[in-house]
Amino acid sequence: MKRSELDPLFPPRPTALAQEILRPMIREGDLVIDATAGNGHDTDFLADCVGATGKVLAFDVQEAALASARSRVTDSGLAGRVDFFLESHAAMGRHAAAGSVSVVMFNLGYLPGENHQLTTESNETLTALATAVDLIKPGGVLSVVCYPGHPAGASEAVAVESWSAALAAHGWRIAKYAAIGTRRPAPFLLLVGKVG
């Protein structure tokens, strides 16, 4: 009997895992945020989840990223559910009220195929995360995919993980998911949930 092959998508990538975990938590009509729109995979996912009456706020500092994300949601017929901002995610507090957002997604690092110097940066990321925590409503969740396998990503990942661990003392529930035994430090997913 032929042995079955291990699924090449096992274990799931942190970006896929984030979507799988968040999908059942997002309700029709919710306000959600994509903090790093990039090529729009998460923007499109969020726009699908919030339904016709929901709204996605999507941030990126690169025109090329927003053009790519906009084109993706236009192709899937969901552009009407997304407001794009050519602004740093650190400015997200100008566009949503405290306690009004059910999910904020961050996918750190650089845009695949583009200038790798244009990567997220620790201090800006920590400012944005602190703002996201204020915007999230009880029962809401913040997801962050970190990339410790490249030099700038490594120090950012350490900073983000220790920032999130400190929130546990303030009643938030925190989890980390990552492959182990990899050649380079594997990307990981942090989930930060606000107890309702």
**Which positions touch ligand SAM (CB under 6 A)?**
36, 38-42, 59-62, 65, 88-89, 107, 109-111, 118, 120, 124
DSSP state of 16: H
Identity of the residue, 76 or 88, whose beta carbon is nearer to ligand SAM in the bound complex: 88
The residue nearest ligand SAM at its CB is: 38
Question: Is residue 22 a contact partner of residue 49, using CB atoms and an 8 Å limit?
Answer: yes
Q: What is the CA radius of gyration of the chain?
A: 16
Beta bridge partners of 33: 57, 104
Distance CA 96, CA 58 (A): 12
Q: Are the C-beta atoms of residues 49 and 21 closer than 8 Å to each other? A: no
CB 115, min distance to ligand SAM, A: 9
Smallest distance, Å, CB 54 to ligand SAM?
18
Please, which residue, 30 or 34, has the CB nearer to ligand SAM? Answer: 34
For 49, list phi and psi in degrees, rounded to 5. Answer: -65, -35
Closer of 53 and 123 to ligand SAM (Cβ): 123
Residue with Cβ nearer ligand SAM (65 or 157): 65
Q: How far is the CB of 51 from ligand SAM (least distance, A)?
A: 20
Helices (H), the chain: 14-22, 41-50, 63-75, 122-135, 151-167
Are 60 and 38 in contact by the 8 Å Cβ rule? The answer is yes
CB of 69 to ligand SAM, least distance (A): 7
Nearer to ligand SAM, 134 or 138 (CB): 134
CB of 108 to ligand SAM, least distance (A): 6
CA distance 134 to 123: 17
